[in-house]
Amino acid sequence: MLDVLPRLPDDPILGLAAACRADPNPQKVDLTLGIYMDDEGVCPVFGAISEAQTALVAEEISKAYLPPAGVADFNNGMQRLVLGQDSAALADGRVSSIQAPGGCGALRIGAEIIQAAAPGAKVWVSDPTWPVHIPLLGSVGLTFETYRYYDASTHGVNFDAMVEDLKQAGSGDLVLLHGCCHNPCGADLSMDQWETIGSMAEAQGFMPFIDIAYQGLGDGLEADAAGLRHLAARLPEMIVAASCSKNMGLYRERTGCTIFLCKDKDNADALLSQAKVAARRVYSMPPAHGALLAGRVLADAALTSQWQDELETMCARINGLRSDLVLKLQEATGRDFEFIRKEKGMFSFLGLSADQVKDLREKHSVYMLGSSRINVAGVNSRNIDYLAKAIADVI
């Protein structure tokens, strides 16, 4: 029976990262995966997380299952972090959430709930979007439509085209929005644009499904959630999938959360019960370690402040790298790369052709996605000159 299954190609992004690891060139540059790396090329553990871990290890006497909704401090902390301390929806008690295995698990639980409420519902996704969205949500049975989003000629959002396409989104449809730091293009909506999307959702009845995996890595924790919070303040229903992989460095601990914003408290409770049943049939119980750490950080004022300082340093370094990259690329190529400075978060589309990307890989051991998406946080003081020269060479 099993021998009918053919071998599948590796995931294109993970495959590229593996090819880079195997490349013996000591000057190789890995800009593939969305992982924050410091100037030494290391993906660091946050000090606040380390402290929480030391305390957890000292106190932990059991590895029994968590409750099905996960760690209470984590869920409460995440609701406040994402929706804001002064969220009216939180004060009204019309929010519930479930801990999930990473942002992917959170998206999946969101999709399971949508599928239960409206089988085969249409999800509008940006063109482009993170390539994992479609298989992750589609395998539940949801269907897709795309809306135009990124304009390669301006390196920004084509908002007129986005609005034109989303005019066709109706009641019962979902619109998947990147809460901040759009992956792959780094081009985010302005506050005015979020407001327009809010008005369209009110008028047309579609529901936002928000993926926020990079809160704190664009303009800071509050600013990065401002668009999402605007929608939460004016719409009756919304689902948010949040990840702690990047902003708490908990990648491998699979720490995320699905937040349901509902019409009232009864409905929020009903959705939590649905989410627990959905989780039970997909992976049964949530993983503990990452959420116990994040929950401790979010419930302790001193650890929260330490973590926020570390995150701000990280965010400032990424934005500093953006400025450095603009200067180095302009110097090396004589071309205008100013757009890199305007983008948010870890990613940028450099605007190179597939052939140029291939040349970079084959001639210079510089690895980026075929679309020329780079992880800006993979740039550092040792590789930036080499990278700029290599790019100048291929263009």
Ligand X SMILES: Cc1ncc(COP(=O)(O)O)c(C=O)c1O
Single out the residue of 74, 130, 147, 194 in contact with ligand X (rule: CB under 6 A): 130
> CB of residue 184 vs ligand X: minimum separation in angstroms?
8
What amino acid occupies position 199?
Answer: S
- Give the Cβ contact number of residue 88 at 10 Å: 13
> CB of residue 393 vs ligand X: minimum separation in angstroms?
30
332 vs 367, beta carbon nearer ligand X: 367
158 vs 183, beta carbon nearer ligand X: 183
> CB of residue 100 vs ligand X: minimum separation in angstroms?
9
Q: Indicate whether 104 belongs to the interface with ligand X (CB under 6 A).
A: yes
Choices 55-63, 99-107, 159-167, 275-283; region in contact with ligand X by CB under 6 A: 99-107
User: Which residue of the set 28, 242, 246, 268 is catalytic?
Assistant: 246
CB 395 within 8 A of CB 366: no
Q: Indicate whether 180 belongs to the interface with ligand X (CB under 6 A).
A: no
Closest CA to 377 of 20, 26, 34, 16: 34
Single out the residue of 70, 77, 103, 208 in contact with ligand X (rule: CB under 6 A): 103
* Token pair belonging to 189: 């909506």
Interactions with ligand X, residue window 159-178 (CB under 6 A): 178
> CB of residue 109 vs ligand X: minimum separation in angstroms?
12
Q: Indicate whether 268 belongs to the interface with ligand X (CB under 6 A).
A: no
Task: Establish whether 38 is a catalytic residue.
Answer: no
Task: Establish whether 122 is a catalytic residue.
Answer: no
> CB of residue 292 vs ligand X: minimum separation in angstroms?
16
> CB of residue 190 vs ligand X: minimum separation in angstroms?
19
Return phi, psi of residue 212, to 5°.
Answer: -120, 100
Task: Show the binding pattern over residues 273-292: x = contacts ligand X (CB under 6 A), - = does not.
Answer: --------------------
CB 257 within 8 A of CB 263: no
* Token pair belonging to 118: 């409206």
Task: Establish whether 268 is a catalytic residue.
Answer: no
Question: Alpha-carbon distance 320 to 44, whole Å?
Answer: 18
Strands 347-349 and 373-375: antiparallel
Residue 391: half-sphere exposure toward Cβ, Cα within 13 Å: 27
Closest CA to 55 of 253, 292, 309: 292
Rounded (5°) CA angle 46-102-245? 25
Question: Alpha-carbon distance 52 to 46, whole Å?
Answer: 10
Task: Establish whether 213 is a catalytic residue.
Answer: yes
Single out the residue of 51, 165, 173, 211 in contact with ligand X (rule: CB under 6 A): 211
Question: Alpha-carbon distance 210 to 218, whole Å?
Answer: 16
Q: Kindly list the residues in this chain that would bind ligand X in the complex (CB under 6 A).
A: 34, 102-104, 130, 178, 183, 211, 213, 243, 245, 251, 256
Query: Hey, which residues are catalytic here?
Result: 130, 211, 213, 246
